[in-house]
Amino acid sequence: MKGSPYKYYLPEQDIPTQWYNVRADMKTKPAPLLDPATGTPVSAAALEKVFCAKLVEQELDNDTPWFAIPREVQDFYRMFRPSPLVRAYFLENALGTPAHIYYKFEGNNTSGSHKLNSAIAQAYYAKEQ
């Protein structure tokens, strides 16, 4: 589309309230994690020594397509989300390409990267536990 704005921010009410689990739509699922001692699929109990229980549930769930984002995590996301979708007009012109280029920019928070999206969720479940 020619008329895309240089930067597009979703209206705040359109920030997703659920995460999407792509494994739910895969016919052939990713192979299970194996316990190195036995060579059999690793149990939730074994993983819970390392990760919070809620995160273990998410880790082992190949079937649930949507997970509600906890209210506290949604609130935190509002500090720096939505992140902008940028139309790279300057880059397109500099390259002289007929391609239309967009980028999703995750660097607008203090940590400078997308890693915060999962860090806050993992910290939330740790605190809850």
- For another protein, the binding residues in 60-99 under the rule CB under 8 A are 65, 67, 69, 76-77, 81-83, 85-86, 88, 90-92, 94-99
Footprint of another protein on 4-43 (CB under 8 A): 4, 8, 10, 14-16, 19-23, 25-31, 33-36, 39, 42
Buried b (16+ CB within 10 A) or exposed e, 61-71: eeeeeeeebbe
Judged by CB, which is closer to another protein: 59, or 71?
Answer: 59
**Which tokens sit at 16?**
């997703």
Question: What is the DSSP-derived secondary structure letter of residue 67?
Answer: E
Footprint of another protein on 105-124 (CB under 8 A): 105-107, 109-124
Count of residues that bind another protein according to CB under 8 A: 81
Q: Distance between terminal CA atoms of the chain? A: 47
Phi, psi of 8 (to 5 degrees): -125, 120
To another protein, the closest distance from the beta carbon of 13 in angstroms equals 11
To another protein, the closest distance from the beta carbon of 71 in angstroms equals 13
Judged by CB, which is closer to another protein: 71, or 97?
Answer: 97
Residue of 56, 60, 78 whose CA lies nearest to 122: 56
